[in-house]
Amino acid sequence: MRRLIKNGRVHQAKGNRSIYKAADILLDGERILEIAPHIPSEAAQEVIDAARCIILPGLINSHIHTFDAFYRGSFDNLPLELWIMKLRPFLSGLKSTPEYIRLRTLYNAIQLLKTGSTTVLDDLVQVPWNDADNLAAVFEGYEQAGLRAYVATTISDLPMHHAIPFLRPVLSNELKQQLEAAGKTPHEVYLSYLREQIARYNRPGRIQKYMLSVSGPQRSSIELQRKIRNLAEEHDLPVVNHVMETRLQRSGAEYAFGKSLIQYMEDNHLLY
């Protein structure tokens, strides 16, 4: 069906400047047929009056965690390493039903659409990490909203206390053993799950697809990060990796690697 957007101002980028030019836009399905100062209303079956509106391509939110959506304002403003322990207890996690997850995803989708985003890269922390039903609920939410989405399940293979400087000496042996046991998923188990999701969701014609995510270079071995890089290149997928989010991560990299996280990744061929 042909749609005509009339009377709006079309955003155009001219170098580092933005220009807003009065124009009409004629669409046929997902294709733009014409942009002109005046297009007759008779050219389309539906006319959208965009008077006093700016028309621009949909924005891309390149990094979001929808699993955090309902916890905004729940805790004091803390450094990430302290805040995340309240939000996602490492050993117990936070259990959610698929219906809760679907509604949470829709809630985020509403906010994204209201602020102009039509594409999103959503990096999930799942409990458990390989819960296919919970992942399906996220995809169902984005499908209902009609958003273009890449969805990832973040993974890592190093215990969390290895990523925080000076933490290991103050933890009890019992707690360290629990944290160590929680991170002992074999790489081939990770890769098998990721390949299954790529095959399931990345079919031709879909606008919601699966991508890859590594929790962070300080929380993942070089070996695992290289395997994820190779899998991404094999399937032409984006990869999320959390680098230099906090001051502690900056100083922690110098403590652990003797260099910045960016230099550490560059030296190990992980910037791609």
Q: What is the pLDDT of residues 8-27, one digit of tens each?
A: 999 988 888 989 999 999 99
For residue 122, the one-letter residue type is D
- The backbone torsions φ and ψ at residue 229, rounded to the nearest 5 degrees and listed phi first, read -60, -45
And the tokens for 199? 């095959």
Q: Best-predicted range by mean pLDDT among 70-84, 213-227, 234-248?
A: 213-227
Strand-pair partners of 119: 60, 148
Note the pLDDT of residue 252: 85
Note the pLDDT of residue 183: 66
CA angle 228, 235, 271 (to 5 degrees): 45
Q: Best-predicted range by mean pLDDT among 83-87, 113-117, 176-180?
A: 113-117
| SS3 per-residue string spanning the chain | CEEEEEEEEEEEEECCEEEEEEEEEEEECCEEEEEECCCCHHHCCEEEECCCCEECCCEEEEEECHHHHHHCCCCCCCCHHHHHHHHCCCCCCCCCCHHHHHHHHHHHHHHHHHCCEEEEEEEECCCCCCCHHHHHHHHHHHHHHCCEEEEEEEECCCCHHHCCCCCHHHCCHHHHHHHHHHCCCCHHHHHHHHHHHHHHHCCCCCCEEECEEECCCCCCCHHHHHHHHHHHHHHCCCEEECCCCCHHHHHHHHHHHCCCHHHHHHHCCCCC
Specify the higher pLDDT residue, 51 or 89: 51
Q: CB–CB of 143/208 below 8 Å? A: yes
Q: How confident is the model at residue 92 (pLDDT cuts 50, 70, 90)?
A: low
Q: How confident is the model at residue 177 (pLDDT cuts 50, 70, 90)?
A: confident
Note the pLDDT of residue 111: 93
Q: How confident is the model at residue 200 (pLDDT cuts 50, 70, 90)?
A: very high
Look at 57-71, 163-177, 210-224, 249-263 and tell me which has the smallest mean pLDDT: 163-177
- Distance, CA of 79 to CA of 202 (rounded, Å): 36
Give the model confidence (pLDDT) of 119-141 as tens digits.
999 999 887 889 999 999 999 99
Q: Tell me the whole-structure pTM to 2 decimals.
A: 0.83
Note the pLDDT of residue 77: 79
